[in-house]
Amino acid sequence: MNLKQNKIHILGAYGSKFRNMNPTCFLINDSICIDAGNILAPLGEKAKNIHYILLTHSHLDHILDIPFLIDNTLSLRDFSLNLIGLEETLNDIKSYIMNWDIWPDFSAIKLLKKDEYAVNLKNINYSEIFEINGIRFQPVKVNHTVPTTGYIINEKIIISGDTTNSEEFINTINKIKTIEKVFIDVSFPSNMEEIAKVSKHHSVKSFKEEIKKIKRDVEIYVYHMKPLFIEQIIEEVNQISKDIKFLKEGDVFYF
């Protein structure tokens, strides 16, 4: 019997959209997504089962499928879509996406099958643990160009969100001894360190320095690579250590 009951399925592993590569999206147990970069293409009509989307931040590659998800499933669903994120993230979605100019405000539109609004927005705060369907999520403050949160899932898996060096992220990995897997943003190769700094992502160079500060034995998975630089990033990361892995679309982990 598999005692690890919960599963995380990688639907989108990259830092942009390109041929056969999709932006960040992690599906947990069929009804919870962390980020919404790629929901509809892999799930089709099953996307109607998505009940919660936990957002790391407001950038387009992380919210991309939200407008189409709710548009396509409005007539199929009998429960609201809960968008969960930092206040700044949800405000940006209201101001710039669901503002009636770019897309309808689905938080003011009712479902067809039930007398409930199609979308609910729920704020979270850094470090405040919350539970959905028996799974615990802990937001972790990270260091990006807009307010951004990583998430710890059931004290087992930590996801960085988009980030460059973040003391809080590393301290959390060292402090919570049950964390087994670390998913971390490495968007650029080392020779693009300047662009990485300006856009507040890791290059392989800053990633190499950052992971030296991890004092525990954890499995490290790189994700959010920018599609055009993937081969170079993989080659450089392999030179740091062959033990570091790369998230791929279709990967499934149990926890």
Is the CB of 146 or the CB of 170 nearer to Zn ion?
Answer: 146
DSSP E strand boundaries for 105-251:
119-124, 130-132, 135-141, 149-153, 157-159, 181-185, 219-223, 245-246
Closest approach, Cβ 195 to Zn ion, in A, equals: 13
Is the CB of 144 or the CB of 208 nearer to Zn ion?
Answer: 144
Closest approach, Cβ 144 to Zn ion, in A, equals: 5
Q: What is the DSSP letter of 239?
A: H
Interface with Zn ion by CB under 5 A: which residues?
59, 61, 162
Is the CB of 148 or the CB of 172 nearer to Zn ion?
Answer: 148
* Assigned token pair, 226: 């920018």
Q: What is the β-pairing status of strands 252-254 and 7-12? A: antiparallel
Closest approach, Cβ 56 to Zn ion, in A, equals: 8
CA separation for the pair 130, 113 (Å, rounded): 29
Is the CB of 162 or the CB of 210 nearer to Zn ion?
Answer: 162
Contacts of 143 (CB under 8 A, 6+ apart): 163, 164, 165, 166, 169, 200
Closest approach, Cβ 100 to Zn ion, in A, equals: 25
